[in-house]
A and B are shown apart, each in its own frame.
Chain A
Amino acid sequence: MAKTPVSWTEYKVLEAMAKAGVRGGPIGEVASRIGVPESTLHSVARLLEEKGLARVRVEEGERLELTERGQEALREGLPEEKLVKLLEEKGGEASIEEVRERLGREAGVAIGQARRQGLVQVEAGRVKLTGAKPGLRQALEAVAQGRAPGGALGELLSRGLARRVKIRREVLELAGDPSSLLDRVEVEASRLTHDMLASGEWRRYRFRPYNVGAEPPRVMPARIHFLTDFIEMLRDLMKEMGFTEARGPIVELELFNFDLLFQAQDHPAREIHDTLWVEAPPAGLEEYRELVERTRRTHEEGWGYRWSPEVAARLVLRSQTTSVSARLLASRPSPPIRFFTLGRVYRSDVVDATHLPEFHQLDGIEGYSGYTFRDLLGTLREIFERLGLQVKFKPAYFPFTEPSVEGYVRLPSGRWLELFGAGLFRPEVLYMAGVDYPVGAWGFGVERLAAAFYGISDIRLLYTRDTMYIRSFPVRVV
């Protein structure tokens, strides 16, 4: 038979009743016998009744209580007691006048009661003590404590010291012997605790079934930023394809950001509204003397203007990570080479939903003595196919590459996103750097692709300060 679930308190009450051998009775009495507060027992009794383990019945009855006079007598003494006390003080007798003076209005009642109880005699205007203690006090005390006053009941009532009042009281009757009831119940608990396990008491418990479909409180984990996830995925991809990671300064010489990339010094991209300069004295070019000389010659022959080393020495916030590729080339690595860099670049753009003043760019270079444009296109296609993106190539123009290509990738929405620029470095660039084998290069902005990847329409959200946005960002498994 299924056991009846009870609460821990209900269980404890049954247990106490079994121990005390109490099967029922007025709740007040039961409560005092088993040492439980009466209020607690009232509610437990009702719960036990709901579970069919007990019956609670209401009994009509009466009980004695002290009147105000009775309470006063209990507190300050009965009039006859006051008289006895006075006489004892006076050595056994006192005149009626003295008694009247001391007891006032009560003097008559006191003398009358005392004589009736045989405590005093009145002779010749004097009251003499003759008897023992008055008997009514015990009866008063019994009523005050809720006990029966015995034979003095009539006197208490007739003297107006006590009265009868009607009462209702709840009587608890268990549905069986408390010990047998204990076997029919089990305690219901919401949580399994360390204490239950440590004490072994878990066996006594029944673990209430939950509404397992109910919504829990919302919790969000501490997280790695979702843009970092995307960036690190790109780094892994490049490493997987055999590329070595490199890094270059964000504050860069124009020499590496522009000149070495065959961008003429009067090229529009180098004007005030496209390039960000920093407040710093121009750097020295001494360590790049040979590079500077070749750069001057190449620019002056190629573009027909007077090349200025002062311009090349100015410091800019790099506008493209191709500056890192330029530095790599100038270090003349032995072929075959595969390098990539992923870092911040800076633009003169006003911040809006599609523009940031800085963003990440990934640049890669690849080369060896037999490297061709078809190899470059193949590598580009491979990179984006590994990202799950279809690529479309478009002929393009960049000052530092020839042939040049722009790449579009097809987003899941079907839209073609213009993403990357690429090409074989021009012979002029290779000459300036001092490299004698063909090198392919490409670069693309990470944020635009990341925003498309995550379905974010406002690029500023990638740099939110709201930690909950980051912690609650949906996960993309890639």
Chain B
Amino acid sequence: MPVVKFKPDRLLNALGVGSVEEAGEVLFRLKCEVEENPEGLVEVEVNPDRPDMYMLEGIARAARGILRLESGWEMPRVRDSGITLRVGEAPSRPYIAAAVVYNYRLDEDTLDELIQFQEKLHDTIGRRRRKVAIGIHDLAKLPSTEVEYKSQGLDTRMKPLGLDVDVEASWVLENTEQGVKYGGISLEEGRHPFLLAGGQVIAMPPVINSNITRLEPGTRDLFIDVTGTDARTVAKVLDVIVSTLSYRDGVEVGLVRLEGAPWKSTPLLSSVKYNLSPSEVNNVLGTSLTPEEVADHLSYMRHNARASGATVMVAVPPFRVDILRSVDLAEDVAISIGYEDLGPRLPHFTTRGSLLGETRLSRRLRELLVGLGFTEVLQLTLTSPKLASLAGGGVRVRNPVQEEYSVLRPSLLPGLIAVARANLHRDKPVKVFEIGLVARPSGGGIVDELMLGLMVMDYEASYEDIQAPLYSVLRLLGISFAVEPTEHGLLMPGRAARILAEGTVLGVLGEVRPEVLEEAGVDYPLVVAEVSVDKLARLAPG
């Protein structure tokens, strides 16, 4: 989950609380976890459904509602910026929206926070810049009020951020960190989207901004562009940024006129309206709130809400991306009340519980096997190709993290040989069993099956040492079975058998081949068995 960092005094001042603990308690109720890091910064873990809270102003606004210091939201003061944005052909990244934020006045702290805001938006709602990317510019440095967005060839020249020389875009893609990381996202047939002002490149979305309009402490007004592949998200992200920055006193918003875009001007600062019946909240939460109470709680969650007769009129603020339907407002009410104060209660209907047949059978198997002196081991179903190959190989993971855990085991037996290897120095006999899943391709798909594996290691171990306990268990379960010789990659010829019941193969048993033992580094004889618990569960008389 996204983690944003702030200087402690800035966070405490913004929230109006006296200590980091206090801030932590308030923000816990807003889905956040607060921690002080070794560098002396406060880290706030924010949930990705609240991108407005990646910014100090957004956190403060939400917290001051929970603290009952403020309520509702105000539409920012908006004026025409005089900037026109012409949207040309940019097929790989067709949408752009832009806005001006006046009087934001960057200092070193707010510059850091703003860049952090931008990065977290990129990583989450922006899907690492694929879906949405943001460029923030110093308005005063904008070469012209005539701005244009379009695709151009990679021979387009620009001054990439941090470099005060003109280079070709192709050079930027190959030689800057951002170029290498994000250069492929919107590159299509040798063309890439550019943002130009007065003919000069001010950004190459979603890769990098131009050095010309770079932000620095002292920057007063911001020109913000948002580009992306989904119009709704592009407009929404711009709304989140603008309506969060404008929470600060004295900040005003400038409209940018668009040509060739889905919108005539941005930001939209759109507010979704709900005519909410309190029952829509009460039915979800199990409460019996009046329209007034619902309105109060929603106001503290920074909606504009008022009771109107039996309903609540709600205007969702432009900085909220997570209100998709009334249930999302119900959650806001629950958060305002506090989950503990909501009054958890036990549901008043009764049902009869039950366990699966294989669960009940496994319990009986464990009792019997422990009685026969076998100890249970548990192993992962992910195993190494080497171990899986002992049983003919298994279903491979396409993108494993570690080779050691890259195959789903096709059988429990290789793992039991590995257990033997790990217990060579223990008193003999070593007797273990495992009940666990294996997976195999079947009928075009992959099926898993619950299996029982048995292993005995001793100075001398022969077929009977595994046959006797297995027969004992099967017969006590009332299974009628037959046994016939079989061939098996792990088992000695002439000392391997299949167990059959009602026309199906239940499993195998036998002595492990000496060459397998030698390869596995096991210098004691092993006898093993493996039977299907799923099949036993179907066969065992109830």
- A278 near B396 (CB under 8 angstroms)? yes
Known contacts A242-B351, A250-B381; decide if A403 and B356 are in contact (CB<8 Å). Answer: no
Is B325 interfacial (CB-CB < 8 Å)?
A: yes
**A237 and B131 alpha carbons, distance in the complex (Å):** 45
Q: What separation, in Å, do the CA atoms of A396 and B50 have in the docked complex?
A: 11
Contact residues in B for A388 (Cβ distance below 8 Å): none
Distance of A276 Cα from B446 Cα, bound (Å): 15
Contact (Cβ within 8 A) B127 A438: no
Contact in complex: B342, A336 (CB < 8 Å): no
A228 touching B285 by the CB < 8 A rule?
no
Q: Which of the 9-residue segments B107-115, B270-278, B417-425 touches chain A?
A: B417-425
Contact present for A375 and B347 (CB under 8 Å): yes
Contact (Cβ within 8 A) A378 B347: yes
A374-B408 in contact given A242-B350, A305-B230 (Cβ < 8 Å): no
Residue B503 lies at the interface, judged by CB distance under 8 Å to chain A: no
- Among the listed stretches A51-59, A149-157, A201-209, A349-357, which one makes contact with chain B, having 4 or more residues with CB under 8 Å of it? A349-357
Cross-chain contact A277 with B399 (CB below 8 angstroms): yes
Contacts of A268 in B (CB 8 A): 124, 127-128
Q: Is B375 an interface residue (CB 8 A)?
A: yes
Q: Which of A3-11, A123-131, A173-181, A458-466 is found at the contact surface with chain B?
A: A458-466
With contact pairs A280-B441, A470-B376 given, residues A382 and B346 touching in the complex (Cβ less than 8 Å) = yes
Answer yes or no: B476 CB below 8 A from chain A CBs. Answer: no
B108-149 CB contact bits vs A (8 Å, 1 = yes)? 000000000000000010011011000000000000000000
Kindly state whether residue A329 has any CB partner on chain B within 8 Å. no
The verdict on A397 contacting B351 (CB below 8 Å), with A224-B370, A357-B402, A375-B345 known, is no
Known interface pairs A242-B351, A395-B335. Does A272 touch B399 (Cβ–Cβ under 8 Å)? yes
Taking CB atoms, residues of chain A closer than 8 Å to B176 are: none
A379/B346 in contact, CB under 8 A: yes
Count contacts on A: residues with CB < 8 A to the other chain: 87
Q: Which A residues are CB-close (under 8 A) to B378?
A: 225, 227-228, 462-463
The answer for the CA separation of A397 and B324 in the assembled complex, in Å, is 14
Contact A424 B284, beta carbon cutoff 8 Å:
yes
Mark interface residues in B395-410 (1 if CB within 8 Å of A CB, else 0).
1111111101100100
The chain B residue with its CB closest to the CB of A460 is B380
Distance, CA A374 to CA B347, complexed state (A): 8
B345–A378 CB distance below 8 A: yes
Task: State how many angstroms separate the Cβ of B32 from the closest Cβ of chain A.
Answer: 9
Contact present for B405 and A394 (CB under 8 Å): no
Other-chain contact of B397, A225, A240, A278 (Cβ < 8 Å): A278
Task: Find out whether the CB atom of B381 lies under 8 angstroms from the CB atom of A344.
Answer: yes
Q: Which of B346-362 contact A (CB under 8 A)?
A: 346-347, 349-356, 358-359
Chain B residues, CB < 8 A from A392: 340
**A137 interface hit (Cβ, 8 Å):** no
* Residues in A neighbouring B335, C-beta threshold 8 A: 395, 403
B175 CB → nearest A CB, Å: 26
A368 near B31 with CB under 8 A, answer no
Bound CA–CA A373/B337 (angstroms): 13
B230 touches A467 (CB 8 A): no
A410-429 Cβ-contact flags toward B at 8 Å (1 or 0): 00000000000000101110
CB distance from B172 to the nearest CB of A (A): 26
Partner of B327, one of A304, A375, A426: A426
Contact B374 A222 (CB under 8 A): yes
Query: What is the CA–CA distance of A58 and B446 in the complex, to the nearest angstrom?
Result: 92
Per the bound structure, the CA–CA distance linking A372 and B334 in Å amounts to 12
Residues of A contacting B162 with CB < 8 Å?
none
Contacts of B467 in A (CB 8 A): none
Q: Is B542 among interface residues, defined by CB-CB distance under 8 A? A: no
Nearest CB of chain B from residue A432's CB, rounded to whole Å: 14
B390 vs chain A, min Cβ distance (A): 15
Q: Is A60 part of the binding interface, using a Cβ–Cβ cutoff of 8 Å?
A: no
Question: How far apart are B107's CB and chain A's nearest CB, in angstroms?
Answer: 32
The stretch from B208-216, B302-310, B430-438 touching chain A is B430-438
Within 8 Å of chain B (Cβ to Cβ): is A77? no
B343 at the interface (CB under 8 A from A): yes
Residue-wise interface mask of A (324-360) relative to B, using a CB-CB cutoff of 8 A (1 in contact, 0 not): 0000000000001110000010101111000011100
Contact B347 A371 (CB under 8 A): yes
Which residues of the other chain, A, contact B48 by a CB distance below 8 angstroms? 397
Is the CB of B488 closer than 8 A to any CB of chain A?
no
Q: A225-B376, A462-B378 are in contact. Are A374 and B343 (CB under 8 A)?
A: yes
Q: Chain B residue with minimal CB distance to A424?
A: B284
A465 to B397, Cβ gap below 8 A? Answer: no
CA distance A468 to B432 in the complex (A): 11
Answer whether residue B445 sits at the interface, using C-beta atoms and an 8 A cutoff.
Answer: yes
Known: A278-B446, A358-B380. A466 touches B422 (CB 8 A): yes
Q: Give Cα A350 to B401, complex, Å.
A: 6
With A379-B346, A466-B423 known as contacts, the answer to whether A344 contacts B437 (CB < 8 A) is: yes
With contact pairs A393-B339, A465-B377 given, residues A373 and B446 touching in the complex (Cβ less than 8 Å): no
- B77 close to chain A: CB less than 8 A: no
Contact indicator B448/A304 (Cβ below 8 Å)? no
CA distance A278 to B409 in the complex (A): 13
- Chain A contacts with B in 426-478, Cβ cutoff 8 A: 426-428, 438, 462-468, 470-471
- Interface contact B284-A403, CB-CB below 8 Å: yes
Once A222-B373, A223-B376, A377-B342 are accepted as A-B contacts, the answer to whether A243 and B353 lie under 8 Å apart by CB is: yes
Question: When the two chains form their complex, are residues B437 and A250 in contact, meaning their CB atoms are under 8 A apart?
Answer: yes
A118 interface contact, C-beta 8 A: no
Question: 1/0 per position for B61-78, CB-CB distance to A under 8 A?
Answer: 000000000000000000
B382 at the binding interface (Cβ < 8 Å):
yes
Please measure, in the bound complex, the distance between the C-alpha atom of A2 and the C-alpha atom of B80, giving whole angstroms.
119
Q: Give the Cβ gap from B325 to chain A, nearest Cβ, in Å.
A: 6
Residues from chain B with a CB closer than 8 A to the CB of A279 are: 395-398
Q: By the criterion CB–CB under 8 Å, are B29 and A395 in contact?
A: yes
A304 to B287, CA, bound (A): 33
A280-B445, A374-B286, A467-B432 given; A357·B373 CB < 8 A: no
Question: Does the CB pair A266–B422 fall under 8 Å?
Answer: no
- Please name 30 pairs of A and B residues whose Cβ atoms are closer than 8 Å in the assembled complex, sorted by A: A221-B370, A222-B369, A222-B371, A222-B373, A223-B376, A228-B376, A238-B353, A240-B353, A241-B353, A251-B447, A251-B448, A276-B397, A276-B400, A277-B397, A278-B395, A278-B408, A304-B230, A336-B349, A336-B351, A346-B382, A358-B380, A373-B284, A379-B346, A396-B31, A405-B339, A424-B327, A464-B377, A466-B423, A468-B426, A470-B376
Task: State the 8 A-B residue pairs at the shortest beta-carbon distance, nearest first.
Answer: A372-B286, A374-B286, A377-B344, A239-B353, A403-B331, A465-B422, A397-B47, A393-B339
Beyond known contacts A222-B374, A465-B377: 7 more, CB 8 A cutoff: A277-B397, A284-B444, A304-B232, A338-B353, A348-B399, A395-B29, A465-B423
Q: Identify the A interface with B (CB < 8 A).
A: 221-225, 227-228, 232, 235, 238-247, 249-251, 266, 268, 272, 276-281, 283-284, 302, 304-305, 315, 317, 336-338, 344, 346, 348-351, 356-358, 366, 368, 371-375, 377-382, 392-397, 402-405, 424, 426-428, 438, 462-468, 470-471
